[in-house]
């Protein structure tokens, strides 16, 4: 069994991961509406990854003998100023999620919960990758979005993202 504090914090993290999926889907549909199908694809893949993150925690809580209590998920932003804005917002969001994972790890240490520390190490590493992926995509979009041809090129490039 998890301690009460550890359980509550992990249970909360499921909501944050599912909100992330919701946010990236919102960005995907914004791009699809702008006929930027490559950007939309990139965001759809990202959203799928977030559901996988949520499911990892969901299964872990159950493995530890606790019951998951799903919480309300906030509505995501639906309007963006320009095609660069969602990627900039995504990077900020990933930095926020990294801080949440770090807080979970700190709590697992305080609770002397060694199994959860090991479990969370995957997420610590994953967040490095998440920030790097979004940061690189943002950089590409920023570099190329000055001109319509550049935007199409960036769209093509990000449309190649494979599911992991």
Interface positions with ligand FEO (CB under 6 A): 17, 20, 50, 53, 94, 97, 130
Contact assessment for residue 32 and residue 80, using Cβ atoms and an 8 Å cutoff: no
Residue carrying the six token digits 């991961």: 17
In this complex, which beta carbon is closest to ligand FEO, that of residue 20 or of residue 31? 20
Cα–Cα distance measured from residue 151 to residue 159, given in angstroms and rounded to the nearest whole number: 12
Contact assessment for residue 64 and residue 1, using Cβ atoms and an 8 Å cutoff: yes
In this complex, which beta carbon is closest to ligand FEO, that of residue 40 or of residue 97? 97
Give the residue at shortest CB distance from ligand FEO: 53
User: Integer distance in angstroms from the first to the last C-alpha of the chain?
Assistant: 31
In this complex, which beta carbon is closest to ligand FEO, that of residue 27 or of residue 97? 97
Cα–Cα distance measured from residue 42 to residue 98, given in angstroms and rounded to the nearest whole number: 20
In this complex, which beta carbon is closest to ligand FEO, that of residue 18 or of residue 144? 18
Q: Residue 69 CB, nearest distance to ligand FEO (Å)?
A: 20
Q: Residue 94 CB, nearest distance to ligand FEO (Å)?
A: 5
Residue carrying the six token digits 């990933």: 94
Q: Residue 97 CB, nearest distance to ligand FEO (Å)?
A: 4
Q: Residue 98 CB, nearest distance to ligand FEO (Å)?
A: 8
Cα–Cα distance measured from residue 44 to residue 60, given in angstroms and rounded to the nearest whole number: 25
């Amino acid at each position: 069994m998890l301690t009460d504090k550890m359980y509550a914090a992990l249970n909360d993290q499921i909501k944050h991961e599912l909100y992330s999926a919701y946010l990236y889907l919102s960005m995907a549909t914004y791009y699809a509406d702008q006929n930027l199908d490559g950007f939309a694809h990139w965001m759809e893949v990202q959203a799928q990854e977030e559901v996988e993150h949520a499911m990892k925690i969901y299964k872990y809580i159950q493995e530890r003998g606790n019951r998951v209590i799903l919480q309300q998920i906030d509505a995501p932003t639906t309007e963006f100023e320009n095609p660069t804005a969602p990627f900039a917002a995504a990077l900020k969001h990933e930095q926020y999620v990294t801080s949440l994972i770090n807080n979970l790890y700190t709590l697992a240490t305080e609770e002397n919960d060694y199994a959860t520390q090991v479990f969370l190490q995957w997420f610590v590493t994953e967040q490095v990758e998440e920030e790097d992926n979004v940061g690189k995509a943002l950089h590409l979009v920023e570099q190329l979005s000055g001109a319509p041809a550049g935007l199409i090129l960036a769209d093509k490039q990000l449309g190649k993202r494979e599911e992991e």
